[in-house]
């Protein structure tokens, strides 16, 4: 097959068993790879406890991974989340995905628990389990430095070892499989790291057509002002000025309209003047949205800046830089760490100073003192403190840095997300904030049932290709369907990709229903319905009407359960 390697590597850590198998053609064609393939494999495994040996880590590349298709250098990870209890996927850039693909595998499935710490070394068809006892206790940068000669490294830091619910897996020391506690799952398996070195290449069906389609995508990326004048110039921090101007940057745990701090030091232009950041691109990406300082240290992304500044009333950008570095080194999700600190600040009725930000971040990573409770996430922490209403989360996942009262479609997408409070499931940041591919009114729920479904299906397919969402500020489903056809030799249309995304979304919904989630979980924190900020509030009746409309559009019953007709239509 072209595009796909038609081989999935499987490792059982409990039995030290390593083998591979050939997936059915229909599995790859109907789910592509990445998130879709991972969702299917995790769903078929049945019920598991998130931190049990039976839970899976499924690293899945896509049919475009390992080619030079623009923005395709990503890989997806699927598992059951210990933080949310939902099916969970996370994708990251760097070179880990392309190396896995060039080693000859479409996916890597890991189950079981090693009796002692191990790491996995993959070099093409040579796969070994090796002792990680000397690595255990080290953080991400030290671990990566030791193993980097073996290839691209994805590893956990001390937070993952200690099974902190906010732990991430970090690839190449700077790219995160973030959110949901995926690092805790890896730590529960006594798996410290995976090092991959692939020497092969990805076969392309029609090289001439591929070259033509690649040029078409690159032209569209260059022509997009959001990319060429925003992300490529300033990285994601260019959003700080926009969201603060729109008054949707969260303040004081999403309670206030104006911060007590000066936001100018957090604007992208101020950061550029102070730090002279260097661009850093993922594999095969012309956008280059990541930024580093002169010493090569990573600088924080928009979400980290927004939630570690105004949302905890911290005025010091340097402290955000250091907290971001600590999170990456311990292997922790910055959004959730900042979210639980915002909850902590409100419960204690205090701002979090720069020193406290750093101390508390380290305590979470070490599971020390109050970090033990904070590391369980905002939902469990606030409940243990007797203030469950102060946790700003959906299905246990802390919200990103956009106040849903001012971007109501985005807020609705939080509520209906299969993995909890996440902006990337539908990514309505694009039309509601950046007005791409076309502008929609952010201040109303009217029409948002349809927009949410459309964008959720779209990005389920994008996450299965696996392509960076930022590319879709310029290109669209049609362009990527065309290049997918050139790579694989299979005829895909934009409609095919949308149907595939809808299939994946419904399969994830079925997983969550099996886990006990219901219509009652498709909601937002009470604060957004009851407390006005900037004169805005979400009307509960309008929200419930929109939810009912959304269910109807999805072909679900009144309780949000996919009907037999819908499942039959989608081939589930």
Alpha carbon distance 71, 63 (integer Å) = 13
Tell me which DSSP letter residue 256 carries. -
Q: Residue 318: what pLDDT? A: 96
Count Cβ neighbours within 10 Å for each residue of 5-44 and write b for 16 or more, e otherwise. bbbbbbbbbeeeeeebeebeeebbbbbbbbbbbbbbbbbe
Flag whether pLDDT at 1 surpasses 80.
no
Tell me which DSSP letter residue 266 carries. G
Per residue in 378-423, pLDDT (tens digit) is 999 999 999 999 999 999 999 999 999 999 999 999 999 999 999 9
Domain assignment present for residue 175? The answer is yes
How, if at all, do strands 118-123 and 191-197 pair?
A: parallel
Q: Residue 7: what pLDDT? A: 97
Domain assignment present for residue 360? The answer is no
Residue linked to tokens 């001439």: 208
* Neighbouring C-beta atoms of residue 458, cutoff 10 Å: 21
Flag whether pLDDT at 547 surpasses 90.
yes
- At 40, list the tokens: 């299917």
Residue linked to tokens 């994946």: 504
Residue linked to tokens 């030791």: 146
Q: Residue 420: what pLDDT? A: 96
Q: Does the predicted TM-score (pTM) go above 0.85?
A: yes
Question: What contacts 266, CB < 8 A, 6 or more positions away?
Answer: 237, 240, 305, 309, 317, 320
Mean model confidence pLDDT for the chain: 96
Domain assignment present for residue 531? The answer is no
Per residue in 211-237, pLDDT (tens digit) is 999 999 999 999 999 999 999 999 999
If you count them, how many residues does the chain have? 572
Residue 163, domain CATH: 3.60.9.10
* Neighbouring C-beta atoms of residue 229, cutoff 10 Å: 11
Residue linked to tokens 């990503």: 74
**Residue 566 phi, psi (nearest 5):** -65, -45
Strands of the sheet containing 8-12, edge to edge, are 17-21, 8-12, 107-111, 57-60, 75-80, 87-92
Q: Residue 64: what pLDDT? A: 97
Alpha carbon distance 116, 30 (integer Å) = 38
Q: Residue 157: what pLDDT? A: 98
Q: Which of 394, 331, 349 is nearest to 160 (CA)?
A: 331
Domain assignment present for residue 72? The answer is yes
Per residue in 137-171, pLDDT (tens digit) is 999 999 999 999 999 999 999 999 999 999 999 99
Domain assignment present for residue 38? The answer is yes
Residue 256: burial class (beta carbons within 10 Å; 0-12, 13-18, 19+): middle
Flag whether pLDDT at 513 surpasses 80.
yes
Q: Residue 327: what pLDDT? A: 98
Count Cβ neighbours within 10 Å for each residue of 337-373 and write b for 16 or more, e otherwise. bbbbbbbbbbbeeeebebebbbbbbbbbbbbeeebeb
End-to-end CA gap in the chain: 24
Instruction: Indicate the SS3 state at residue 271.
Output: helix
Instruction: Indicate the SS3 state at residue 568.
Output: helix
Domain assignment present for residue 375? The answer is no
Residue range(s) defining the domain that contains residue 13:
8-197
* Neighbouring C-beta atoms of residue 564, cutoff 10 Å: 9
Domain assignment present for residue 229? The answer is no
Domain assignment present for residue 327? The answer is no
Q: Using pLDDT thresholds of 50, 70 and 90, give the confidence band for residue 243.
A: very high
Helix, strand, coil percentages in the chain from 3-state DSSP, rounded to 5:
45, 15, 40
Q: Which of 189, 263, 209 is nearest to 479 (CA)?
A: 209
Per residue in 337-352, pLDDT (tens digit) is 999 999 999 999 988 9
Q: Residue 559: what pLDDT? A: 98
Number of domains in the chain: 1
**Percentage of residues in the chain having pLDDT higher than 90:** 96
Per residue in 275-323, pLDDT (tens digit) is 999 998 999 999 999 999 888 889 999 999 999 999 999 999 999 999 9
- What are the beta bridge partners of residue 544? none
Q: Using pLDDT thresholds of 50, 70 and 90, give the confidence band for residue 89.
A: very high
* Strand positions, DSSP E, 97-227: 107-111, 118-123, 126-131, 152-155, 169-171, 175-177, 191-197
Per residue in 441-487, pLDDT (tens digit) is 999 999 999 999 999 999 999 999 999 999 999 999 999 999 999 99
Instruction: Indicate the SS3 state at residue 543.
Output: helix
C-alpha 470: how far from its chain's center? 13
Q: Using pLDDT thresholds of 50, 70 and 90, give the confidence band for residue 103.
A: very high
């Amino acid at each position: 097959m072209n595009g796909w390697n038609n081989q999935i590597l499987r490792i059982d850590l409990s039995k030290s068993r390593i083998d591979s198998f050939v997936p059915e053609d229909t599995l790859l064609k109907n789910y592509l790879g990445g998130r879709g393939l991972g969702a299917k494999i995790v769903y078929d495994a049945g019920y598991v406890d998130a931190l049990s040996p039976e839970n899976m880590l499924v690293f899945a590349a896509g049919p475009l991974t390992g080619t030079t298709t623009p923005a395709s250098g990503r890989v997806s990870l699927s598992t059951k989340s210990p933080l949310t209890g939902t099916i969970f996927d996370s994708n990251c850039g760097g070179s880990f995905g392309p190396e896995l693909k060039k080693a000859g595998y479409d996916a890597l499935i890991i189950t079981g628990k090693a009796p002692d710490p191990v790491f996995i070394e993959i070099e093409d068809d040579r796969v070994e389990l090796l002792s990680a006892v000397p690595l255990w206790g080290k953080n991400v940068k030290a671990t990566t430095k030791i193993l980097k000669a073996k290839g691209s490294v994805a590893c956990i830091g001390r937070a993952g070892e200690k099974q902190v619910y906010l732990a991430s897996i970090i690839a190449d020391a700077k790219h995160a499989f973030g959110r949901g506690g995926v690092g805790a799952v890896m730590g529960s398996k006594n798996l410290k790291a995976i090092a991959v070195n692939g020497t092969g290449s990805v076969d392309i069906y029609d090289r001439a057509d591929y070259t033509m389609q690649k040029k078409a995508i690159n032209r569209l990326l260059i022509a997009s002002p959001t990319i060429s004048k925003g992300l490529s110039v300033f990285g994601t921090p260019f959003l700080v000025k926009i969201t603060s101007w729109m008054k949707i940057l969260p303040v004081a745990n999403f309670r206030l309209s104006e911060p007590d701090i000066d936001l100018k030091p957090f604007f992208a232009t101020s950061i550029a003047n102070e730090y002279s950041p260097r661009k850093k691109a993922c594999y095969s990406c012309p956008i280059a949205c990541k930024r580093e300082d002169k010493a090569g240290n990573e600088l924080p992304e928009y979400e980290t800046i927004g939630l570690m500044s105004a949302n905890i009333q911290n005025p010091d950008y340097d402290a955000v830089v250091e907290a971001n570095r600590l999170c990456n080194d311990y292997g922790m999700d910055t959004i959730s760490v900042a979210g639980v600190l915002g909850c902590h600040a409100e419960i204690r009725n205090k701002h979090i100073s720069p020193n406290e930000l750093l101390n508390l971040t380290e305590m979470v990573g070490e599971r020390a003192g109050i970090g033990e409770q904070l590391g369980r996430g905002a939902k469990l922490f606030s409940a243990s403190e007797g203030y469950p209403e102060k946790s700003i989360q959906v299905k246990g996942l802390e919200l990103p840095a956009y106040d849903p009262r001012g971007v109501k479609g985005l807020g609705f997408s939080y509520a209906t997300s299969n993995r909890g409070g996440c902006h990337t499931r539908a990514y309505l940041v694009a039309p509601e904030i950046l007005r791409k591919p076309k502008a929609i009114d952010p201040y109303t729920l009217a029409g948002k049932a349809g927009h949410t479904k459309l964008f959720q299906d779209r990005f389920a397919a994008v996450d299965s290709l696996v392509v960076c969402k930022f590319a879709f500020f310029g290109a669209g489903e049609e362009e990527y369907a065309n290049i997918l056809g050139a790579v694989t030799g299979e005829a895909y249309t934009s409609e095919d990709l949308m149907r595939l995304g809808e299939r994946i979304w419904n399969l994830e919904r079925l997983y969550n229903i099996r886990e006990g989630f219901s219509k009652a979980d498709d909601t937002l924190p009470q604060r957004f319905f009851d407390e006005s900020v900037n004169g805005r509030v979400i009307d509960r009746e309008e929200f419930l009407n929109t939810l009912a409309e959304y269910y109807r559009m999805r072909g679900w019953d009144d309780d949000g359960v996919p009907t037999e007709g819908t499942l039959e239509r989608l081939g589930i």
